[in-house]
């Protein structure tokens, strides 16, 4: 049965999904493939997944391509980052770039620890550009993924990263939900910075807890209007994480897709 929403939601915006709404066993590639098939059935054009989900010896590019999804990006999120650069160690992201390139990933996505001084910010920006240069040699684009802390103190760190990094090497995957939780006026930020942003993670909150996209306080309508008005070209990805570590899967992703289709379709 064909999926109802396989075309991009608008002329400039493509819909994708993060796999972390589902339980994936990193030792069993077939568990990731099953999630990708579900993402395809729900109508998304592509996916993003964590680097640990690609560690299985069974991982194969042709299997991923057979799902009909674009491999938007492979994401490195850690509990502890390099003490100097505040991002993943080079030996890790270099290995992930090679694996991702072999499996058809289009982007390397890096999260990081927050910087607290101008010197730390400078080191982090330099490290991101180095990672971006390495990724580009393998055909991948680097995107930095924020959490809420980058938007604290009037978005001091986020603005600093935008200012200090090379636009040709470092792009941004804006986690708009985390930015919202960090106090950002997300539509206003997008108005100013959309040219550096290649994708958005969208999530929603009510009373501080994540709820399915479109059912909370996140300004989804205003975000969609801002992006359309700017003629922005990029990816919007549903990310349905939960604070308690539960994996709601289709129960949360299906209404998220309906909200994305409503506002971006």
Q: What is the mean pLDDT of the chain?
A: 94
Query: How crowded is the C-beta side of 186, counted as CA atoms within 13 Å?
Result: 27
Tell me which DSSP letter residue 10 carries.
S
Residue 213 confidence (pLDDT): 95
Identify the pLDDT of residue 13.
Answer: 95
Sorted by sequence, the CB contacts under 8 Å of residue 200 that are 6+ apart come out as 173, 174, 175, 176, 223, 234, 235, 236, 237
Q: Which of 93, 97, 98, 107 is nearest to 14 (CA)?
A: 107
Instruction: Report the share of the chain in percent with pLDDT over 90.
Output: 91
Distance, in Å, from the CA atom of 179 to the CA atom of 1, rounded to the nearest integer, reads 37
Measured in degrees and rounded to the nearest 5, phi and psi for residue 200 equal: -130, 140
Burial of 104 (0-12, 13-18, 19+ CB in 10 A): middle
**What distances in angstroms separate CA 122 from CA 84, 117, 127, one per listed residue?**
10, 9, 9
SS3 195: helix
Cα–Cα distance for residue pair 199/225, rounded to 1 Å: 16
Identify the pLDDT of residue 22: 97
Q: Is 190 helix (H, G, I), strand (E, B) or coil?
A: helix
Task: Indicate the pLDDT class of residue 243, thresholds 50, 70 and 90.
Answer: confident
The whole-number pLDDT of residue 241 equals 86
Q: What is the average pLDDT across 81-103?
A: 98
pLDDT tens-digit readout, 27-38: 999 999 999 999
Instruction: Encode pLDDT of 131-166 as tens digits.
Output: 999 999 999 999 999 999 999 999 999 999 999 999
Q: At what angle do helices 186-193 and 152-164 cross, to 10 degrees?
A: 10
Residue 1: predicted pLDDT: 41
Residues pairing with 15 in the sheet: 236
Residue that wins the pLDDT comparison between 256 and 11: 256
pLDDT at 162: 98
* Residues across the chain: 265
> Distance between CA 241 and CA 89 in Å, rounded?
25
Does the pLDDT of residue 252 top 70, yes or no? yes
Please give the average per-residue pLDDT across 187-199, as a whole number. Answer: 98
pLDDT the model gives residue 104: 98
- Quote the CATH superfamily of domain 13-264: Divalent-metal-dependent TIM barrel enzymes (3.20.20.150)
Sign of the dihedral through C-alpha 155, 219, 259, 22: positive
Query: What's this model's pTM, rounded to 2 decimal places?
Result: 0.94
Q: 12 pLDDT band (50/70/90 cuts)?
A: confident
pLDDT at 2 over 50: no
pLDDT of residue 155: 97
Q: Given this model, what pLDDT does residue 38 score?
A: 98
Mean pLDDT in residue range 14-21: 97
Dihedral angle of Cα 185, 190, 193, 194, to the nearest 10 degrees: 170
Pairing of strands 107-110, 141-145: parallel
Q: Where are the alpha helices (DSSP H) in the chain?
A: 29-41, 61-66, 90-102, 118-137, 152-164, 176-181, 186-193, 220-230, 250-264
Mean pLDDT of 192-207: 96
Residue recorded with tokens 């990081």:
112
């Amino acid at each position: 049965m064909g999926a109802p929403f396989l075309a991009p939601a608008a002329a400039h915006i493509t819909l994708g999904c993060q796999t972390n709404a589902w339980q994936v066993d990193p030792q069993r590639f077939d568990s990731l493939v099953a999630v990708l098939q579900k993402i395809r059935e729900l109508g998304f054009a592509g996916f993003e997944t964590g680097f640990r989900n690609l560690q299985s010896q069974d991982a194969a590019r042709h299997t991923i391509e057979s799902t009909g999804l674009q491999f938007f990006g492979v994401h490195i999120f850690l509990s502890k980052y390099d003490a100097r650069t505040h991002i993943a160690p080079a030996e890790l992201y270099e290995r992930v770039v090679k694996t991702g390139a072999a499996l058809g990933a289009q982007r390397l996505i890096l999260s990081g620890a927050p910087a607290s001084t101008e010197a730390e910010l400078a080191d982090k920006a330099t490290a991101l550009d180095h990672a971006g240069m390495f990724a580009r040699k393998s055909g991948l684009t680097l995107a930095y993924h924020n959490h809420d802390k980058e938007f604290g103190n009037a978005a001091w760190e986020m603005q600093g990263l935008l200012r200090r990094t090379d636009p040709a090497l470092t792009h941004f995957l804006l986690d708009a939900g985390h930015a919202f939780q960090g106090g950002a006026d997300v539509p206003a930020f997008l108005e100013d910075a959309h040219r550096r942003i290649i994708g958005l993670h969208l999530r929603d909150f009510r009373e501080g807890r994540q709820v399915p996209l479109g059912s909370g306080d996140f300004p989804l309508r205003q975000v969609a209007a801002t992006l359309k008005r700017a003629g922005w070209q990029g990816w919007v990805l549903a990310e349905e994480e939960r604070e308690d570590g539960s994996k709601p899967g289709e129960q949360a992703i299906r209404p998220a897709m309906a909200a994305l289709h409503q506002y971006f379709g």
